Structure 1
Amino acid sequence: MSNRNPKDSMKSTWRTDKSQWGIPHKILNHANVFHSDLTRPIPIHAKTDKLPHLPDWQSHRWILLHASIPLALHQIWLHFTSTPFHPIIAFIFYYQASRFFAFRQLRSMRELGHQYGYLDGDKHDRDGVPDVGVGKTLLSVFLAGFVRPVLTTWLTYTTTEEPLYSLLQHPTRVFFEIALYSIAVDFWFYIYHRLMHDVSPLWKYHRTHHLTKHPNPLLTIYADSVQEFFDIAGIPLLAWGTMKLGGFPMGFYEWHVCQLYVLFAEVAGHSGLRIHATVPNPLAEVMRWFGMDLVIEDHDLHHRNGWRRSMNYGKQTRIWDRVFGTCGERIESLEGNVDYGKKVTMPIF
């Protein structure tokens, strides 16, 4: 233990010790997107206590409502001015929209945490942002929010398309774009994620992400730089290219909404919330028939039990885990341990 690299420490004391604070600490504190409020209690449950259920439509409602606000504002601007956004303005606007979406989700999930508690909460608290990694966490979160809108704007934005017209003209196509993009993301993510666990020379790029056994959403992208590149840019590009090869247009506005669905899943998957909630996908019910739907506990168990050899490598679905035989057994989210009568409401405001 004495030979452990100090940079591997997950000790988190800085939120209550302002003597450690520099600029990154102040920025994160001002953003107020932590998984818990230090002044409020978090309920603790035995693993045999039944989980409340978040219906799929609640997640879809939350995503689509928050996604529609910037699209509607953009459409109103075009209606009254007939002046399209310059690409730089479009990037800034939709970067801020993604930032608004992420911050709202983080705060909404914090409320759920204080109401329902966290998985494995009878054994361990959620890990905080480590004292040695505050600056790294801040940079990772910034890059994740910044780079994806850059890619979307650079590759797909045109001034001739209108946001709501583009999405509502072909609703069936958009339905399948959202569903299949998530599955394409998960395919490429599964491949590279599995390789980083199974291939020894690649593990060094992934081990930092696995220092947290009980992650919180701010640690979603907490990793070495190579993994951060693939998570933030490489996987979305591969998935977008896959969709294009499959004949889907994947224009600017469709891709923007698709990426918000993926972002929601990434944050929820690292939240550890003690609720039964499926990653939102228009085809989630079909996946459920075949045991291919992903719930919050699945990725939480990947962190808790996985180091080099693990399970539950997917982060959007369990399709590829089923195909390749790497699904793990659930503990608290077992079918018989879910109270479907106790409904969870995803807070809007």
Structure 2
Amino acid sequence: MSNPKDSMKSTWRTDKSQWGIPHKILNHANVFHEDLSRPVPVHAKTDKLPHLPDWQSHRWILIHASIPLAIHQLWLYFTNIPFHPIIAFIFYYQASRFFAFRQLRSMRELGHKYGYLDGDKHARDGVPDAGVGKTLLSVFLAGFLRPAFTTWLTYNNTDTEDFSNPLLSLLHHPVRLFFEISLYSIAVDFWFYWYHRLMHDVSPLWKYHRTHHLTKHPNPLLTIYADSIQEFFDIAGIPLLAWITMKYGLRFPMGFYEWHVCQLYVLFAEVAGHSGLRIHATVPNPLAEVLRWLGMDLVIEDHDLHHRKGWRKSMNYGKQTRIWDRVFGTCGERIESLEGNVDYGDRVSMPIF
């Protein structure tokens, strides 16, 4: 008999008799992948996909990443009072929360305009009735813990020139930031690839990952929906290993402000990768053109296809690029995002406002 907690049935949004505090909080946040009162277009798999240019994603991320840095810069300019670490954590936690909520709502609009992958066969899974509280806790921990350990490891309120100029310090080193963003995503992907692949291939580890694969057609709120062991590694373990790789292996500074921007790039990719949007969009990376030329770029469909498989049957283990999938022979064939099925003239706009 199947475990009732494994059910992905989602009826609670239209049945308020089920509602408790977690249901009310999620409903108030209003970051669902679709409005129930609005239609979602359905396309055949052979219909052309519209294209989201790389620069649109970069613009969206960098503008939203710069807003808290600019506010912090202005505070220091007018008061000359550095943020206490606790204040810095609260401020940048709220900034990452703002970033995530804005992305979720922006992608909802794109979903209602362009539809979803495999939509002719299956709608996107909703937040399951059996997992509303779990979803809420997962989303909270993901938003809370990353700024917490970023602050703990790298925040320093001493009066060094770089540290006292949150935005200007990054603008003074654009080439360094370019490679930090590029290589941090690749480092995250290296550690994630092996941890992810092992959970699929090693039987005792699958039990920590199977919860995440209950959804075959995920939505962004299910990005971190998983067993608690996996949640910890997704939220904290993998970013920490990537930071150590960058700072002590590749000798990049990886200070507080650089890591803030790098982590928002990773967050954007994680949310987009679970969106299932029926658009041809590459996970943003400053080296995307090089990766595309090498056949190592990751598009939304790649991770979406990964979710339709399970134990020892999957592919596309990377979530930022396909570098390690290409190197180790685990790339899967695309269905709707095939090169000949993309209409590059039909351009998607990622709305800023």
Supply the distance in 1 between the matched residues of 2:13 and 2:167 (Cα, whole angstroms).
Answer: 42
Aligned to 1:339, the other structure's residue is in SS state strand
**3-state DSSP of counterpart to 1:282:** coil
TM-superposed CA distance for 1:348, in Å, is 1.1
Aligned to 1:160: 160
Q: Report how far residue 70 of structure 1 moved.
A: 0.6
TM-score when normalising by structure 1: 0.97
Paired residues of 1:137 and 1:218 also in contact (CA < 8 A): yes
Correspondence for 1:244: 247
Shift of 1:64: 0.4
CA separation of 1:334 and 1:168: change in aligned 2, threshold 3 A: same
Q: Pairwise mapping of residues 1-349 of structure 1 onto structure 2 (< 5 A)?
A: 5-157=3-155, 160=160, 163-246=166-249, 248-349=252-353
Question: What is the deviation of 1:160?
Answer: 3.8
- CA shift digits 1:284-341 (9 cap, x unpaired): 0000001000000000000013343210000000000000000000000000000000
| Cα drift, residue 66 of structure 1 | 0.6
Distance 1:342 1:265 in 2: 22
Shift of the alpha carbon at 1:155? 0.4
Rounded to whole Å, the distance in 2 between the matches of 1:104 and 1:144 is 16
Q: Structure 1: where are the runs of 5+ without partners? A: none
Q: Is the 8 A contact 1:86 1:159 kept in 2?
A: no
Q: Distance in 2 between matches of 1:342 and 1:7?
A: 42
RMSD: 0.8
Using the TM superposition, give the Cα deviation of residue 166 of structure 1 relative to its aligned residue in structure 2, in angstroms. Answer: 2.0
Distance 1:32 1:308 in 2: 36
| Whole-Å separation in 2 of the counterparts to 1:220 and 1:131 | 17
| 8 Å CA contact retained: 2:200, 2:310 | no
The Cα of 1:170 is off from its aligned counterpart by 1.1
Q: Is the 8 A contact 2:10 2:128 kept in 1?
A: yes
1:94-141 deviations in whole A, cap 9, x for unaligned?
Answer: 000000000000000000000000000000000000000000000000
- Secondary structure of the structure 2 residue equivalent to 1:207: coil
**Does structure 1 retain, via aligned residues, the 8 Å contact 2:297–2:323?**
yes
1:159: Cα distance to partner? 5.8
Residue 90 of structure 1 aligns to a residue in which SS? helix
Deviations 1:67-88 (A, max 9, x none): 1111100000000000010000
1:247-269: per-residue Cα shift (whole Å, max 9, x none)? x0000000000000000000000
In structure 1, distance between residues paired with 2:159 and 2:140 = 27
Long gaps (5+) in structure 2: none
Q: In 1, are the aligned partners of 2:269 and 2:283 still within 8 Å (CA)?
A: yes
Distance across 2 between alignment mates of 1:159 and 1:323:
44
Is the deviation greater in 63-72 or in 301-310?
301-310
Give me the TM-score of the superposition, normalised by structure 2. Answer: 0.96
The separation in 1 between residues aligned to 2:193 and 2:159, in whole angstroms, is 35
Q: How far, CA to CA, are the matches of 1:86 and 1:305 in structure 2? A: 46
Q: Is the 8 A contact 2:206 2:311 kept in 1?
A: no
Mapped to 2, the partners of 1:7 and 1:308 lie a distance apart of 23
CA contact (8 A) 1:85 1:159 kept: no
Alignment length (residue pairs): 344
Task: Decide whether aligned partners of structure 1 residues 37 and 159 sit closer, same or farther in structure 2, where only a CA change above 3 A counts.
Answer: farther
Query: For the Cα contact (< 8 Å) 2:181–2:261, is it kept in 1?
Result: yes
Say whether the 8 Å CA contact 1:43–1:117 is kept in structure 2.
Answer: yes
Tell me the CA shift for residue 165 of structure 1. 2.5
Asked if the contact 1:203/1:308 (under 8 Å) is kept, the reply is no
Contact kept, 8 Å, 1:55 with 1:277, in 2: the verdict is: yes
Partner of 1:305: helix, strand, or coil?
coil
Partners of 2:201 and 2:311 within 8 A in 1? no
Structure 2 Cα separation of the partners of residues 305 and 195 of structure 1 = 15
Secondary structure of 1:340's counterpart equals strand
CA distance in 2: counterparts of 1:274 and 1:216, whole angstroms: 12
User: Identity percentage over the alignment?
Assistant: 90
| 1-structure distance, mates of 2:311, 2:223 | 16
Q: 1:238 to 1:159 in 2, by over 3 A?
A: farther
Deviation at 1:161, TM superposition (A): 5.5
**Equivalents in 1 of 2:309, 2:209: separation in Å?**
15
Please list every run of at least 4 consecutive aligned residues from structure 1 whose deviation after the TM superposition is greater than 2 angstroms: 158-162, 305-309
- SS of 1:205's equivalent in the other structure is coil
